[in-house]
Every structure is written in structure tokens, then in C-alpha cells.
Amino acid sequence: MSSRGWGESGGGDPPRLQGDSSSRSKAKSRTTSLQPGSASEHVAASSAAAVETGLEFGKVDGEAHAPVPLHLARHQQAVVGGLDLDPKRSGVEIQKSKSERDIQGKKKKKKRSMAVAARVVEEDPDVVEMMKRRDDDEEEVVGEAWDYKGRGAIRGSTGGWRSAAMILCVELNERLTTLGVAVNLVTYLTGTMHLGSAASANAVTNFLGTSFMLCLLGGFLADTYLGRYLTIAIFTAVQAAGMAVLTISTAAPGLRPPPCSSGGSGCAAANGTQLGVLYLGLYMTALGTGGLKSSVSGFGSDQFDESDGGERGSMARFFSWFFFFISMGSLLAVTALVYVQDKVGRRWGYGICVVAILTGLLFFLAGTTTYRFKKLLGSPLTQIAAVTAAAWTNRNLPLPSDPSMLNHDDSAHTTAKPNQKLPHSKQFRFLDHAAIVETTTAEAKKRKRWAACCTVTEVEEVKQLVRMLPTWATTILFWTVYAQMTTFSVSQAAVMDRRLSTSFVIPAGSLTVFFVAAILLTVPLYDRLLAPLVRRLTANPRYDLSPLHRIFVGLLLAALAMVAAALTERARRDAAVTLSVFYLLPQFLLVGAGEAFTYIGQLDFFLRECPKGMKTMSTGLFLSTLSLGFFFSTALVTVVHKVTAESRRPWLADNLDEGRLDNFYWLLGGISVVNLAVFVAAAARGYVYREKRLADAGIIHNQR
């Protein structure tokens, strides 16, 4: 099977199966071959009607006989021809009806055919059982889903929680690896590789930013070429290879600079080869992380059928469990894994990651026969580029006064993509030029290729993405604040009193356990305490924070966290004694609670508001905010360090006691307040959710 046959949709259309639109004509030809030449016109007419109802005339000893089911007739024909017809190996593509009337009709038809079959072939009960099993399977085929062989996916034997559990194992190990490397990397770069504080912080944020930015590449490959299944499998292997290189880098003595002298003045920095091997391992890991993270949540949701009420509820619970497994991976990373790195050896910690990734990959591959696959829909980036180019090409053409004169013919693309027809809106009128249809001039013929692919629905889908951009842009800064918890906050913890007892010292990187604990506590506290309280106070039993409300709370908590971090750093620097590391708890708890609100709010917002045919794009937009937040942290640290380096007390000194890290936190806090105001004014105020706009237009909303 080609690589496309394994992807989310198997790459291209699945193999052509029996039982499609040509089945009736084939059945008629078989019927004719089975009719005796002496059959009457009445028998011939009855045969044609029987074909339409799933029955076929057979013959016994050369004489026309009562109608029997098509399955039996095919079986008889195969026996006469000396063929071995195995019903398990004969693929049948079923077009499952979603209406109750069709289902009831199929059940009645099944009973009639079984009754006839029982009368005709009482001596062959195996055939009857074969037909019953086949008919049962026909009623349980999931629409728009395929199994690993390209056949219609059977509900009872594919998808569901069994398949989702295999996928969650991959995400657990991905989070364990990525955060296990990032959260403790600063101490390794400064203490072992002898890099400066600012350079080490930038190395961490660049690693995380690259990981999430590569999600866009992974999403493009999954949508266009590989499918989600192959994308996850390939990039998980790449991540394992990257961690293997990191393990070698930390284990081989020649790939690390010699330790500092006893006085601490003779610290030789790592050379180019040593840093090159280290960065090779880091960015191979980042490539693997980005590729598999782009597809793992979407492939998990593919295991549940949105058209089925029970499975739709399971899909909602899947996202809750998905976030739970992310948090559990983070918790293991900042506790057990960091402890192993600091107390046993970093090579052992990274080696555990390699074993964990490979174990998760084996679990994932073991579930291959149970997964449901979807068709490749192509990258939404192609549609965005087409609409933008068409609008620019037609920019000099006048827009029609009546929007109904634009191209509303969605028949050309709705068969390939499950787009939901959208009404025309008055916003961003420039993009409406892409839907202008004009075929009377020579110039118009040159534009025909673009105009033909740009309908009002396609234009409105791009408009919807434009409406989401203010929210996308203003959530970037939260992840810049988040980045400080894995860089400078860890540096703060390293110079504070981390003793729990005379024999146990908390690793500096493990302090982020409070950050993860805040995430795990915030979600149930909100669902069980805060939300019910607000519902009682407002007398609205359905009240819940909207996605934008959640994002607002997260951004507010991020600003407060930077204020707390600045006050703590000033107290630490001015204190006469070494302060306890627990003084850092407020900033970790505030950012952790903020992530719970922001992460869930962003995920819900982008999944809810993105057009139906752009599911992967929604995930890419969300994850790109993380990437840009980390890159913005790198840029901000670089600028601040360069500007303040020549001052008497640089803000980001290698020795925190000689710097003014609190000023950097104050700067981030001020930027966060401004960003929060922009979010309220430009993104949240006046935003109309997509569901409400469709309801106001009288269009039934069937996506959620």
C-alpha cells in the first residue's frame, strides 16, 4: 500500500469497493446470466424488480426459481464457477443512510431477505449466518471514515476509546520529552556548557518556538501528502532520533567542555563542534515535536463520529483527557525526569525519554488495525492563497450592488471538502473581488481559473480567519510570559534556598511542579465551584465563560504574575539572607492558572470559529501563538540585554545579584497590561461568534 493509503484518509481516494453506484448494473448482468433461456416475461420482469430490492432469481436444476437474496445468488454463481467467495475478504462500500426512515426500511428488507434465504437454503445455515453478519455490518459503517485497508470503517471494530488511548500515549510521551528537555535546559547550558544567562534563555525559547512553529509544516504535510497517521508515526521516530543525539551529546566527554576550575574563573565555553551536536539533537527533537503535535489531537478526534450522539459526547471528553495527559506528562517531566537528570545523570534522563518515545510509538503502531482514517482535504493555505490572489487580480473590477450576483456555485468544491455553505457578509469587502464572475472579455478569461475556484463560501471562510486575527495576535504575549517560567524563574530558583530537609534539595527545574499543579487544580475548581456559583448568581443554568472570557482571565493573570515576579526578585536581591524558593510560588501559580484559562479558551475559540473545512488550520493558528510568544521572548531578551549591557547594572547579568531582573519583569508586566487593553478593544468587544451569525442568517449549524 502506498504512503497515501495510510494517512488520515489514506492519501487519495480509498480503493474502489464493491457495492458502489455500479452495483445495480453488475447485479442485473449477473441476473441475466442466471436466467434460463425459457423464462417467461413475467419471470424477467420479476427479476428486474428483485434486483432493485436486493433479491435475485436463481435457478435450480435449470429451472427458474423463487427470488433469493443477491448475496446468496452471488454465492451460488461463485460455487458454479468454481470460485471461493470469501465474504470477509470481499470489500463492500456501504452508503449509510442517516435518516430513521431509511434505517427502518433496511431492517424490514433484511427480515424479508433472511426469510426467503431460510426457505431456499435451509440446508446451508452458514450462508444465512454470513448474510446476517454482513447486513449487521452494513448498518454500522461510519460515514466518511475508512479502516486501514481502505474499506468502510465498522463502528464496532474501529475507532472509539480503544484507539484514542493509543494516541493519548503518544501525546503523553511527547509532553514528557519536550518539557523535560526545556524546563531544565538552562541549568545545563549555564553550568555545563558555560553559556551566559541571556544566551541560555534564548536557546530554550528558540527550541520551544521552533517546536511549535514546525506544527504548521506538520499540518501542511498531513493535510496534503501524508495524512495524520503517517505524520504522527514518522515524526515520532524523528523525535526519538533527536533525543538519541541529545543523549550522546551529554554522555560523551568530548562533546562537553571541561569543568570549571575550583576558583570558578577558568570556565572554558563550549566549542563549535560541541554546540553543533547539542543543537542538532535539540532541533531534530523540535522537528519531531512539531510534526506529531500538529496531528495528534486531530487524529484522536477522528476516532469519534460527530454524527452520532454518543460518540460526539465521547469526543468532548477526549479533549478533556487530552489536556489531562498533557498535564500528566508535564508533571512527570518537572518532577521525576528533572530529578533523574540532576541526581543520577542527564544522559540517563534523556535516555529515559528515548525509551518512552519508542514505547509510545509501538503502542501507536499496535493500534493501526483499529484506527479510523479520513480523506485528505488539502491544505487550507492553498485556499487562502487562491482567494487572496483572485481578490488582488480582480481588484479593479467593480463589485456588484447585489451580492447574489457573486459566485455562489459551491457544487464544484463541496464534493471534495465538507465545507458548510456560508452567507455573504459586508466585512472585508475587498475579498469579495475573488468571487466576481465575468466571462465576456479576454481579460476575464485570464482570470477564469481563479474565479472558478473562489465561491462566496470560500471567500467567507477566509474572512472568518481574518476576523480571528486580533484574538490570535493578542494571545501571543501570554506565551512570552510563560517562557519566563522555564528560563529566568528557573535561574532565580537556582540561587535561592531549595532545601526541604537536611538531606533533600529541590532541583531548580522541578519548581515548575507548582506551575503544573496550578493547571491541574484550576480546571476542576472552575468546573465544580466557580461556574456553578456564577450560574446561581445569574439565575442562568447554562451560563459559562465564553472562549474570549477565558482568554481575558488568562491574560489578566499573566500580567499579575509579572508584577509578583518583579516584587519577589527585588525582595530576593535586597534580602540579607538567602530567601526560600517558595517565595517564587505566586508567579508560578498565577501563570499556571492563567495557562488553564488561556489554553482551553484558545483551543475552544479556534476550533469553534474556524471554518469546517479548516480543522487543521485551527490547530496551527493556536500553536503558532505559542511559537511566536517564545520567539518574541528571544527578541525581547536580546534587545534588553544589548541596550542595558553597558550600564552600571545590566538588567540580565549572568550573576543575578549583579543585575536588575526585576526591571525586566516590570517591563513585561507593562506590556501585558497594554496587550490586555488591546485585546478588549480590538478582539473581544463586539465580536460575534460564528454560530450566532449562522443562526441569524437562518442556516442550521451542524458543526458543533
Instruction: Tally the domains of the chain.
Output: 3
User: Which residues are within 8 A (CB) of 487 and not within 5 positions of it... i.e. 6 or more apart?
Assistant: 186, 200, 201, 204, 205, 633
Verify that 487 and 628 share a domain, yes or no. Answer: yes
Q: HEC profile for 218-245? A: HHHHHHHHHHHHHHHHHHHHHHHHHHHH
Verify that 575 and 662 share a domain, yes or no. Answer: yes
Residue 27 located in a structural domain: no
For the chain, give the mean pLDDT: 76
| Residue 411 cell numbers, joined | 457544487
Residue 417 located in a structural domain: yes
Residue 115 located in a structural domain: no
Verify that 404 and 483 share a domain, yes or no. Answer: no
220 or 362, greater pLDDT: 362
Question: Rounded mean pLDDT of 460-473?
Answer: 88
Task: Give residue-wise pLDDT tens across range 77-112.
Answer: 444 444 444 444 444 444 444 445 555 665 666 566
Verify that 653 and 505 share a domain, yes or no. Answer: yes
Place 599 in a pLDDT band, splitting at 50, 70 and 90. Answer: confident
| Residue 544 cell numbers, joined | 459559562
Decide if pLDDT at 115 tops 80.
no
Task: Give residue-wise pLDDT tens across range 428-442.
Answer: 888 887 777 765 555
Closest CA to 363 of 234, 233, 178: 233
Question: CA neighbours within 13 Å on the CB side: how many for 356?
Answer: 22
Decide if pLDDT at 491 tops 90.
no
Verify that 323 and 352 share a domain, yes or no. Answer: yes
pLDDT value, residue 517: 86
Residue 362 located in a structural domain: yes
CA distance 404 to 406: 5
556 or 224, greater pLDDT: 556
Residue 133 located in a structural domain: no
Domain C-terminal end among 350, 378, 406: 378
Verify that 204 and 242 share a domain, yes or no. Answer: yes
42 or 174, greater pLDDT: 174
Place 686 in a pLDDT band, splitting at 50, 70 and 90. Answer: confident
CATH of the domain at 608: 1.20.1250.20
Verify that 472 and 497 share a domain, yes or no. Answer: yes
**Bridge-partner residues for 63, per DSSP?**
60
CA distance 454 to 460: 10
At residue 357, what is the residue type? I
Verify that 610 and 683 share a domain, yes or no. Answer: yes
Residue 588 located in a structural domain: yes
pLDDT value, residue 7: 39
Give the pTM: 0.69
Domain C-terminal end among 344, 363, 378: 378
| Residue 316 cell numbers, joined | 468532548
Place 507 in a pLDDT band, splitting at 50, 70 and 90. Answer: confident
| Residue 520 cell numbers, joined | 491541574
pLDDT value, residue 86: 45
Verify that 418 and 472 share a domain, yes or no. Answer: no
| Residue 571 cell numbers, joined | 525582595
Question: Rounded mean pLDDT of 538-566?
Answer: 87
pLDDT value, residue 619: 75
- Burial (Cβ within 10 Å: 0-12, 13-18, ≥19) of residue 362: exposed
85 with 75: CB under 8 angstroms? yes
Residue 120 located in a structural domain: no
- Cell 535516555 found at: 351
The lowest-confidence range among 130-139, 378-387, 622-631 is: 130-139
3-state secondary structure of 663: helix
471 with 679: CB under 8 angstroms? yes
Q: How far is CA 435 from the centre of its chain?
A: 31
Question: Rounded mean pLDDT of 138-163?
Answer: 81
190 with 508: CB under 8 angstroms? no
Question: Rounded mean pLDDT of 36-45?
Answer: 43
Decide if pLDDT at 635 tops 90.
yes
Question: Rounded mean pLDDT of 64-87?
Answer: 46
Question: Rounded mean pLDDT of 49-57?
Answer: 42
DSSP E strands in 134-291: the ranges are 141-146, 152-154
pLDDT value, residue 631: 92
| Residue 229 cell numbers, joined | 497517521
At residue 115, what is the residue type? A
Decide if pLDDT at 476 tops 70.
yes
433 or 182, greater pLDDT: 182
Place 234 in a pLDDT band, splitting at 50, 70 and 90. Answer: very high
Could you list the residue range(s) of the whole structural domain that residue 253 is in? 144-259+268-378
Question: Rounded mean pLDDT of 607-612?
Answer: 76
Verify that 361 and 397 share a domain, yes or no. Answer: no
- The per-type count for the chain, helices as H runs and strands as E runs, is 26, 4
Domain C-terminal end among 462, 477, 496: 462
pLDDT value, residue 50: 41
CA distance 296 to 340: 28
Helices within 16-69 (DSSP H only): 23-34, 41-52
Verify that 368 and 478 share a domain, yes or no. Answer: no
Question: Rounded mean pLDDT of 189-217?
Answer: 88
Verify that 443 and 507 share a domain, yes or no. Answer: no
The lowest-confidence range among 271-285, 421-435, 455-469 is: 421-435
350 or 68, greater pLDDT: 350
Residue 409 located in a structural domain: yes
474 with 675: CB under 8 angstroms? yes
Question: Rounded mean pLDDT of 528-556?
Answer: 82
